[in-house]
Amino acid sequence: MNINPEFQSDSELNAEIAMETCMLAISDTLIEPAMKKGELDETDKELLAMIALTLKGIAQKAKAYEELEGRANEGNHFRN
């Protein structure tokens, strides 16, 4: 269901771009201000770095799956 009548699907959007956009918003809104205020210690920063790497890995795998599914939907039955 599409509530916004002016919505246009972005065919170039993939899991990696979506994750990058989300991570940037979280960084700009939450992480950077907390760092400027000195609210994050080294342990917090290390944990956030590990989370970022994990999410990037998940996004890469999701994009690979999207590409695999896209090829399958194009009629290339390479998995059979």
What would the pLDDT profile of 22-37 be if each residue is shown by its tens digit?
999 999 999 999 999 9
CA atoms of 31 and 24, how far apart (whole Å)? 10
| Domain of 54, in residue numbers | 40-72
Contact (Cβ atoms closer than 8 angstroms) between residue 63 and residue 20:
no
pLDDT higher than threshold 70 for residue 13:
yes
Give 54's contacts (C-beta < 8 A, 6+ positions apart).
none
The verdict on pTM exceeding 0.75 is no
When divided into structural domains, the chain yields a total of 1
Residue 15 lies in a domain: no
Residue 45: inside a domain, yes or no? yes
Tell me the percentage of the chain whose pLDDT exceeds 70.
79
**Does residue 54 lie in a domain region?**
yes
Residue 2 lies in a domain: no
